[in-house]
Chains A and B, each alone.
Chain A
Amino acid sequence: MTEEVAKKAPKKKRKLPPGEFRIQVRIWVQWAFFALATGPLFIIAPVLKQIPAPWYICWSDPLASGACSLGTIQHFTGHGVFTWFTIGFLGTIGILIGRATCGWVCPMGFMQEMLFKAKKYGSYVFGGIIFVTTWFLAWFTPFLAVYGAGRVATENTYGLGMMLKTGNMSAFIMWTVIYLVLSLILSLPFFLFHKKFTLPNSLATYLRWFFFLVPFIGFVILTRYNFNTGTWGIGEVWWCKICPIGTITAGFPQMWLQLIPETAFPLFGLSSTAFIGVSSYQGIFGEAQLMYFFKWVMTSGLMWVMINSKRFFCKGVCPLGTIFNVFNWFSANQISVDQENCRGASCNWCLNHCPMDIAIYDPTAQWHCIRCLDCLGCPFGVVKHEVSPIMSWLVKQPPEKKIPPLKTPNPPNNPTFMQWAGFVDYIPPQARK
């Protein structure tokens, strides 16, 4: 009887709790910006690419609609020029909203979140893509064949396809085996190993500053110096040359675009530079050589890590995030925690919901917080979104939750300098056993 009553009763639409609802909203916002950053707006790229974008997409991406701010900084650093506009632009965004662009806008951050949520399917899809792309490269590029024994065997021609065409069967078989091994080495981890893990905060800090200071700044300046003549010239854009996001968003698409005949799309035929930023047909097969191989291997490894760890790239590598996270400490957009009454490790709702895998009650984790606001769904209401009074009209504060305070309030946080700087892991009092 009760079952029948239950069946007849109108189904109530499930109302998401405020925290979960905000997460849903954020995902839709991320979808929207994904479409804006690398989507139909590429048609007006010649206009939009005049300003640096506060997100991370290579501007050689055929569908990119904005300029890569990191590429811009690299370029001017290589020329020995300080980028007043770009640094000022990124800094202004950072000082107003901290790393919120990482959490709400950046397409690469969104891609990583989706990859992590896709669980095994994400691994299988990307394993397949890497396997197929490796074979694609084998047929059309000499990126391995021009080195070592292959140089003689192939006479610097274009990959397996040319070997087959010219009847060089011994070279064809040799490189078939080599590419098969290579593609298996690169793609098998995606199929076989699914090990979810957390990147420790301190390790992330070391990695982050290493990638920022060494390839992003140091090598660019170093390569400006000509040791033969003792003069300063134009530096190499080091980060761009190893950038995995460039490989994912520009390198692969550019390679695959080579298969499209120039006349296939009228748009591409129209001096395509003006419309899609980079030509659809540059004849770049022959250009993919050893450096591309390095990038391919590094990017494959990094993609595996991205799938198995929450926002690994954002947390431990991204130089744009490093620029923004310095401003997290001073920005007008802050997350505050009532440390005295936080349940800490006995609850960990924030840690479980955080896309960066940090516990917001750890004050030293500010370096990694992307202001996604997911943690505001704290069931005990101790996490608060605090903005400067001049921005308060933007934020609707939820009604205060009436949760009894802890009988014994937590002692105050007291991190050392190295812990505050993020180089040594800090365990807040509420997380200590």
Chain B
Amino acid sequence: MSGKPIRSTLSKWIFLPFLIILVAMMLFGIYGKKLVVAPEQTQGKYSATGQISNLDTANKTFTLTIPEDAEISEGEPLVWEVDFEKAKEFHVIVEEGVEAPTKVTDRHEIDGLEFEHDKVILEDGTSMMEDGMTMTVAGSKKAKKGTMSASVLHLGGIFNEPEYHQRHEPREIYKTAVILCIACVGLGESNFFWFYLILGSIVLVLLLWLMMRIIQKRGASA
């Protein structure tokens, strides 16, 4: 064997411009973009469940009264003035059998009862609220004054949002993803059943074809 190089000098250095570009991409990914893109309702903001009163749909405010037996931190007020002008999402919990205001997006069982969970765009949301209704509000708070600026609202008040998230969504928010998706586990019914069926069939046919090719020894290897 002679000691002559097999690869040219150019081929030994060709990686360098690529490396520079890729490192720049990484840096842009870190500094040029906001990595934390978790939805607001899951960002660990304050949430409270109580009864609505003094609903003012014109100014988008109401008073939320938390039951006295509820577990709250020491010093927290039981009455909140809620300003929901900034609210971005509006969820409705509807018991099974009750007509949902919009298309049902989720269904689940709690303590033996089945509930439907509906996500509604806020523009129609105010029409569903009325005094005396139970509601969970998630948003930022000012504890001393007892005011809260809501970003997410829940009619029905069965869940607070983080709890909802823990039960029905994939639970954890990391910087690289908005949601850790339970789709990884392949659970749940899908809205794309026929897509899955077709893709599954294609994969099975491919595997069968592969097996036939191997059995017939028609394949060539390097």
Contact = CB atoms under 8 A, between A and B. Distances in A.
Given A84-B33, A251-B186, A278 B178 contact: no
A365 to B, nearest CB: 5
Nearest to A50: B175
Interface residues of A, number: 104
Interface in B113-128: none
B15 A85 contact: no
Contacts of A214: 199
Contacts of A246: 184-186
B213 A338 contact: no
Given A290-B193, A330-B18, A401-B1, A60 B221 contact: no
Contact of A59 (B6, B12, B180, B213): B180
A410 to B, nearest CB: 13
Nearest to B15: A332
Consensus secondary structure, chain B interface: helix
Contacts of A278: 170-172, 180, 182
Contacts of A240: 181, 183-184, 186
A65 interface: no
A397 to B, nearest CB: 11
Contact of A85 (B26, B204, B206, B220): B26
Interface in A378-430: 381-382, 384, 386, 388-389, 400-403, 405, 425-428
Contact of A68 (B3, B184, B186): B184
A425 B220 CA distance: 7
Contacts of A388: 12-13, 15-16
Interface string B172-214: 1011111111111111111011011101100110110010011
Nearest to B207: A301
B85 to A, nearest CB: 25
A389 B12 contact: yes
Contact of A88 (B7, B25, B174, B177): B25
Nearest to A404: B1
Interface stretch (A22-30, A127-135, A197-205, A260-268): A197-205
Given A203-B210, A351-B222, A91 B184 contact: no
Contacts of A250: 184-185
Interface residues of B, number: 68
A393 to B, nearest CB: 15
A75 interface: yes
B1 A381 contact: yes
A284 B187 contact: yes
Contact of B184 (A202, A243, A327, A336): A243
A310 to B, nearest CB: 11
Interface stretch (A4-12, A101-109, A177-185, A291-299): A291-299
A431 B6 CA distance: 20
B25 A75 contact: no
A44 interface: no
Given A67-B174, A95-B18, A75 B184 contact: no
Interface in A233-264: 236-237, 240-243, 246-247, 250-251, 254
Nearest to B12: A388
A292 B186 contact: yes
Interface of A: 46, 49-52, 58-60, 67-68, 71-72, 75-76, 79, 83-89, 91-92, 95-96, 195, 197-203, 207, 210, 214-215, 219, 223, 236-237, 240-243, 246-247, 250-251, 254, 273-274, 277-279, 282, 284, 286-292, 294-295, 297-298, 301-302, 305, 327, 330-332, 334, 336-338, 341, 351, 357-359, 362, 364-365, 381-382, 384, 386, 388-389, 400-403, 405, 425-428, 431
Closest CB pairs A-B (n = 3): A85-B29, A88-B25, A84-B29
Interface of B: 1-3, 5-7, 11-16, 18-19, 22-30, 32-33, 35, 109, 166-167, 170-172, 174-190, 192-193, 195-197, 199-200, 203-204, 206-207, 210, 213-215, 219-222
Given A351-B222, A405-B1, 10 more contacts: A59-B184, A83-B29, A200-B220, A201-B221, A243-B184, A251-B187, A277-B171, A284-B185, A291-B187, A386-B5
